[in-house]
Amino acid sequence: MAETGNLLSFRKSIRVVDATLRDGGLVNNFEFTDEFVKELYHTNVAAGVDFMEFGYKADKDIFAEDKFGKWKFCKEDDIFAVVGDNQTGMKIACMADEGRTNYRRDIGEKANSPVDMYRIATYITAIPSAIEMIEHCHKMGYQTACNIMAVSTATEKEISIALDMLGKSPVDGIYIVDSYGSFYPEEIRVLADKYLEYGEKYGKFIGIHAHNNQNLAFANSIECIARGVDYVDATVSSMGRGAGNCALELMLGFLKNPSYKLLPVLKFIEKEMLPLKEQGVVWGYDVQYMLTGMLNRHPRAAIDFTAKKRTDYAEFFTDLIDR
């Protein structure tokens, strides 16, 4: 078994991945100001964050470039403009969605790119296609991870097969992704143990990407860490789709490694996140997300409910269970 936590010491193998731009971009259509992105980069470096994910490597033939902020596409030059040659200890990550990335065209040699790790996001039914992407990224020189989304809707058998296939692939790590925010800690522990079993067998790290629908993103993340999961996603102020993610500030407050610093993140919240909220960008735990999480549903109905500023929770719930 991997070394697990004991609340006083720390585990050097833990890696914190800031996914604020990537999952947060799903909230504001990736329309972050350049100042916000630069500040976040410097904040993450100062906070000792291990990876900063800039966004998606989306295919512009599928998504019109003028309809999204630039972090939907993560062009190398846009990242270089923020990080220069990134002479820091922090690595750069980027997400590539299976089926929505022209990776042969858009993901070139690592030598010409600021990106260190590509995270391939896939539904469990598309693992073979995801593995082709992983093989490509691996050949191009990148670290890779595979984020199997919406795993709360997959069967145990499917998960076993997927983990075995990924185990035999060149991927470096595999993520537990609770897309619907529907897992309880006692469930995620069992899942973490399963992923870790395959991780040990095949020499892959395991990661956790949690959503806060039932106010359990932080709890589920630290439960996974306690089992031996090493890579943990977090976002500043929990910014992310729907109910958002595990808050970076909570995670840094929990981890005992003295190289993590909370103060820079608090300053960033004050300076950048509060204005964002004041501008009307809305995310975070609320009753409608609790309901979709509880019912193990995609949050889209709750996101729509939020966008319409509805508050008729009872009606919403009745509709959900009627479907």
Q: Which residues bind to its own copies, rule: CB under 8 A?
A: 5, 7, 184-187, 212, 214-220, 222-223, 226, 247, 249-250, 253-254, 262-263, 266-267, 269-270, 274, 285, 287, 290-291, 294, 311-314, 317-318
Q: Which residue, 69 or 185, has its beta carbon nearer to its own copies?
A: 185
Helix (H) / strand (E) containing 2? none
Q: Which residue, 92 or 243, has its beta carbon nearer to its own copies?
A: 243
Query: Would you list the DSSP string of 117-174?
Result: EEEEEE-GGGHHHHHHHHHHHHHHT-EEEEEE--GGGS-HHHHHHHHHHHHTSS-SEE
CB of 228 to its own copies, least distance (A): 13
HSE at residue 239, side-chain half, CA atoms within 13 A, is: 26
Q: Which residue, 165 or 226, has its beta carbon nearer to its own copies?
A: 226
CB of 144 to its own copies, least distance (A): 31
Q: Which two tokens stand for residue 190?
A: 């069992």
Query: Would you list the DSSP string of 190-244?
Result: HHHHHHHHHHHHHT-EEEEE-B-TTS-HHHHHHHHHHHT--EEEEBGGG-SSTT-
Per the document, the length of the chain is: 323
Q: Give 203's contacts (C-beta < 8 A, 6+ positions apart).
A: none
CB of 281 to its own copies, least distance (A): 16
CB of 51 to its own copies, least distance (A): 23
Q: Which residue, 61 or 186, has its beta carbon nearer to its own copies?
A: 186
Maximum separation of any 2 CA atoms in the chain, in Å: 55
CB of 7 to its own copies, least distance (A): 7
Q: Which residue, 220 or 306, has its beta carbon nearer to its own copies?
A: 220
Q: Which residue, 80 or 254, has its beta carbon nearer to its own copies?
A: 254
Helix (H) / strand (E) containing 318? helix 313-322
Helix (H) / strand (E) containing 55? strand 51-56
CB of 186 to its own copies, least distance (A): 6
Q: Which two tokens stand for residue 35?
A: 């100042």
CB of 209 to its own copies, least distance (A): 17
Q: Which residue, 114 or 244, has its beta carbon nearer to its own copies?
A: 244
